[in-house]
């Protein structure tokens, strides 16, 4: 069994591999733009902050999926 991890966006796929996931966007394998690593740690995050609420920008209160490079910790963000 190799289930696809819950991800953002219609053409984003994350496949479990080793300690993290391999990320594919629209069928293209994604490597870290900094160091070239292909393993990422996936995590869901909330985008809402008190500051956004203060400025009446609640529509920006969304979730995103972040992919943190396992080698250099660079983070790729994808809004849900």
| Pattern 30-59, Zn ion, x by CB under 5 A | --x-xx-x----------------------
Closest among 79, 5, 74, 11 to 38, alpha carbons compared = 74
Q: Given the complex with Zn ion, which of 47 and 72 has the nearer CB atom?
A: 72
Residue 15 parent element (H or E): strand 12-17
Nearest approach, Cβ of residue 62 and Zn ion (Å): 25
Note whether 74 binds Zn ion by CB under 5 A: yes
Give the Cβ contact number of residue 27 at 10 Å.
Answer: 7
Cβ atoms of 12 and 25 within 8 Å: the answer is yes
Give the residues lining the site for Zn ion (CB under 5 A). Answer: 32, 34-35, 37, 69, 71-72, 74
């Amino acid at each position: 069994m190799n289930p696809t991890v819950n991800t953002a966006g219609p053409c984003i796929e994350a496949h479990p591999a080793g300690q993290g996931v391999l990320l594919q966007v629209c069928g293209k394998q994604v490597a870290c733009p900094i160091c070239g690593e292909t393993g990422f740690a996936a995590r869901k995050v909330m985008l809402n902050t008190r500051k956004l609420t203060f400025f009446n920008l609640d529509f920006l209160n969304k979730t995103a999926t972040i992919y943190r490079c396992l080698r250099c910790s660079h983070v790729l963000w994808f809004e849900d």
